[in-house]
Amino acid sequence: MPSNDMNQKIDQGNTNVIHAQSGDASIRGVTTQIASDYFSLRSLGRHRKPFALQVVLGGVVMYIFPVRKSSCTCCLSRISSKASTRMRHYRCTFACVVLVPVAILTAIAAVRGQQLSFIPNEVLFPNPGGASQTYSTANGGIDLTGPFFQSLGTNGRSCATCHQPSDGMSVSAANAERRFVQTKGEDPIFRTVDGSNCNHSIDVSTLAGRLAAYSLLRTRGLIRIALAVPAGADYQVVRVNNPYGCNEEDVISMYRRPLPSTNLRFLSAVMFDGRESSPTTGTTKILHSNYPTSLLDDLAHQSVDATIGHAEGDGTRPTAAEQKQIVDFEMALFTAQAVGRGVGQLDAQGAKGGPVPLAAQPFFISMNSSVHFLLPQFEPPGGLVTPGDGQFTPAIFDTFNAWASLPSAAPRAAVARGQAIFNSKPIDITDVAGINDDELAGGLVAGGIPVLQGTCGTCHDTSNVGNHSFSTPLNIGTGDPSPSNSAVNLGGLDVSYLPNITVCKTDSGTGQPTNSCKTTTDLGQALIDGKFDHVGKIKGPILRGLPARAPYFHNGSAETLLDVVRFYENRFGLALTPAEESDLVAFLNVL
């Protein structure tokens, strides 16, 4: 049974909602949350519950969480007082600049009969780190009427169900929990096809049942991805210990965060396991020689697969024309943090934060490849300015270089120091499949590399973006249980909520499992290409817009950005002082 606190929370959530109906809706099957939780009020020293405007357009539900209109006035009066401080100024500027436009959008929607169909580029979306902004190079904003926001399947979902403008075009766990409270677990995101922890032996007919069934989505923002073990795999699944009941050994349930459907121009592979950029699924590996055609084709294929799988479609939609509309919409989007909490505007004082500079960032496949620079036979053509120029820089980010000379106590100076740590702090990379293992197993050199000294940019080498510019899936241990404590991963983060899957390499002659076995919580690339050596390998995501989409890592094991930093400290012995930890988190919080 749900707790009294949860019942009270759900009841209060419903009483703080305004329902409005419109007869002619141009948007179908989308839940778009325009602004965020009560951080906006808490940052101003207020501990009130948010007022949510629920806009219902036909089959569409939209939640708009504006700040109270008195907040800006209150801030302005505080700014004018003798007791005002620089921090208070930042907070009040945030309230006026970020939240007032949201309230204005709300008012416009109300006046127009709730026909909210367009979010201009200027709108900012509050999050715990400040506010993010999504910028479209195509239409001056986010058009909410296209097929990306339409229900193309049978269960009420659209692409936007899990790719919310408010959450950097992903979906945070806090967003999912909020939607559960507002709808008592009946929002389209809560569907048993993949939103529930398992799709059998569950009861979602009651509130208590839904609370239990959708717990991973509510608390970790995880979608269940069920994939069949490939025919001809060189391993055998010998044991699955899934706490939710999906213990099948032929179809494996894994739990992953939705990747952002923005900043896609910088992708070198589609999906965490690369399954939408792999010949084994009828898609194309993205290379310098076929980019961007391969990327566009892969994204179109993914839009069909997602509609069939997540939205339970019949394959007739999206049509070829709708696929192109979806891909064109996604490719035009660029998302980044635009305002930092305690930092202010991220393009101030010569900095290049926000999505507009990101939209102009040069890119080609294998650009600034750290691997190609060390081993030219890999990840061609490499190069920094032009393809094949032989250059590489470990200074992956120069976004906040202009703040490096500010007084050391300034919040912006902390961001610049964090950027320098990201760019230059040495990391001893060990036991990473895809780097340290033998070349025959997918590593870099024959016999392997016991230790490779690198930096954050060794794996996150795309300039001012932070993913890897070539398709190189790795296993850094985020999904592997610690040998000394299976409840945590190799970096000490809780993974007790995930299944344990044990696979053993098979003998090539007899087909029987050998004693060479691995236990993990996610088979990664091995569930796509059937290779034992690829167990646990996944791609690293783009780092821009991080504060909008907690929790982190593919399995949601890092609830905060500080957890992310501490994973690397524990896993690789990254030596940071408390001040350096704080500076690095400050940097990640403004990406």
The domain spans of the chain are 4-216
Look at the chain and count its residues.
591
- Please list the residues that pair with 344 across neighbouring strands: 340
Rg (CA), the chain: 24
Closest CA to 412 of 489, 349, 337, 494: 349
Contacts of 511 (CB under 8 A, 6+ apart): none
pLDDT at residue 92, as a whole number: 52
| Strand, coil or helix: 501 | strand
Amino acid at 533: D
pLDDT at residue 6, as a whole number: 46
User: Which residue spans within 210-368 are E strands per DSSP?
Assistant: 223-228, 235-241, 251-256, 333-340, 344-345
Contacts of 169 (CB under 8 A, 6+ apart): 134, 163, 260, 261, 262, 333, 335, 545
| Strand, coil or helix: 426 | coil
| Strand, coil or helix: 135 | strand
Question: pLDDT below 70 — which residues of the chain?
Answer: 1-115
pLDDT at residue 115, as a whole number: 60
Which sign, positive or negative, has the C-alpha torsion 197, 496, 540, 248? Answer: negative
Parallel, antiparallel, or unpaired: how do β-strands 31-33 and 60-64 relate?
A: parallel
Dist CA 514 CA 551 (whole Å): 37
Parallel, antiparallel, or unpaired: how do β-strands 141-143 and 130-136 relate?
A: unpaired
pLDDT at residue 27, as a whole number: 33
Helix (H) / strand (E) element for 133: namely: strand 130-136
Residue 42: count of CB within 10 angstroms of its CB: 12
Order of strands across the sheet that contains 125-127:
125-127, 130-136, 333-340, 344-345
Q: Is the peptide bond before 387 cis (omega within 30 degrees of 0)?
A: no
Residue-wise pLDDT for 544-588, tens only, equals 999 999 999 999 999 999 999 999 999 999 999 999 999 999 999
564 phi, psi to nearest 5 deg: -60, -50
Dist CA 248 CA 229 (whole Å): 10
Dist CA 94 CA 88 (whole Å): 10
Dist CA 371 CA 151 (whole Å): 42
pLDDT at residue 38, as a whole number: 29
pLDDT at residue 309, as a whole number: 98
Largest CA distance in the chain: 82
pLDDT at residue 116, as a whole number: 82
Parallel, antiparallel, or unpaired: how do β-strands 17-18 and 52-57 relate?
A: parallel
